[in-house]
Amino acid sequence: MVSLEKIGEFGLIKKITRKTKDINVKVGIGDDAAVIRVGKKLLAITNDALVENVHFSFSQFTPEQVGKKAIEINVSDIAAMGSIPKYAVISLVLRKNVPVEKIKRLYSGIYNAAKKYSIEVIGGNTAKGSQVVIDVTMIGMVKEKELCRRSDAKPNDLIFVSGDLGKSATAFNALKKGKDMPSMLKKAFFEPVAQLEKSRKIAAFANAMEDISDGLASEVKHICEQSSTGAIIFRDNLPISEEVRKAAKRIGKDPADMALYGGEEFELVYTISEKNLDKARGYLVGEITKKKGIRLYSNGKEKVMKRFGFDHFLKV
């Protein structure tokens, strides 16, 4: 019996999903969001769920934080397409012994986060279950010239990240070890914020773009696979804050590993052609190459990457 645990999320999805043939589907399965054409408009549609005791527990998160995070992770996917979020549909699975007060606070987290982005909650569904699941489907509008697909990277594009990395992964690992950490790291894990504003500034100039939910190395790999390119990542150039450096060392982790492999990162990684370099924001971390494979450059040496880290199924 081959179990999910052994196959992992990405392999499984690849095995069982099918390609679409509809000419109105501009982006199908395999990107941060699907994109469909409706009349003259393009709609980006994404879906992400938070599962109790997998992605959060009520002993660590407040209900408001859970609701907020459920919205932010979806806004992050919408932003990664170069799109602007507009509508959300909320599907809740609830245990029968969840106090109504907690559900109200969870909804309050959802609504406050939605309000911040002017997102309208237009519908949803509730069902009974044995663990809480907050499943959000989000719809955004995207302009053709601002659409950033995984498959849009070109050889010689420069790879940028929109902000410093490793905060969420370092916080997650410190938490697992029961170590205390600076409040900015805690905040990155418990109250992450999608980088919609940064996306708005670069979407018209970027080629491929993704949020870094699966870790930088993984996301660069996804881009290269779908763009039929390779890439080189400059390990010594990764933007890492002093707080992450200190906290990572305290728990015996290499800060650069946290930045390279750490998931649940809400910064964006994008590729941009040299001619648009003056429009780039953030930090240069690599380059797209014609030569396939992902190579890591550090301390004057280059090696082909084999490990890309982070699989949601293996996380907890």
**Subset of residues 273 to 312 that bind a copy of itself, contact rule: CB under 8 A:** 312
The residue assigned the tokens 């209900």 is 63
Shortest Å, Cβ 275 to a copy of itself: 32
Shortest Å, Cβ 96 to a copy of itself: 5
- In the region spanning residues 48 to 67, those forming contacts with a copy of itself, defined by CB under 8 A, are 48-49, 51, 53-55
Q: Which is nearer to a copy of itself, 39 or 178 (CB)?
A: 39
78 binds a copy of itself (CB under 8 A): no
Contact 111, 121 (CB under 8 A): yes
Contact 119, 307 (CB under 8 A): no
The span from the CA of 133 to the CA of 241, in Å, is 33
Shortest Å, Cβ 63 to a copy of itself: 12
Task: With H, G, I as helix, E, B as strand and everything else as coil, classify residue 263.
Answer: coil
1 binds a copy of itself (CB under 8 A): yes
- 211: its two tokens: 């949020």
- In the region spanning residues 160 to 219, those forming contacts with a copy of itself, defined by CB under 8 A, are none
- 197: its two tokens: 């504003």
- In the region spanning residues 96 to 155, those forming contacts with a copy of itself, defined by CB under 8 A, are 96-101, 103-104, 107, 111, 120-131, 133, 135, 137, 139, 141
- In the region spanning residues 16 to 35, those forming contacts with a copy of itself, defined by CB under 8 A, are 16-18, 20-22, 25, 28-29, 33-34
- 104: its two tokens: 């109200």
Tell me which stretch binds a copy of itself (CB under 8 A): 39-47, 186-194, 253-261, 294-302. 39-47
Contact 185, 313 (CB under 8 A): no
Contact 260, 309 (CB under 8 A): yes
The span from the CA of 162 to the CA of 271, in Å, is 11
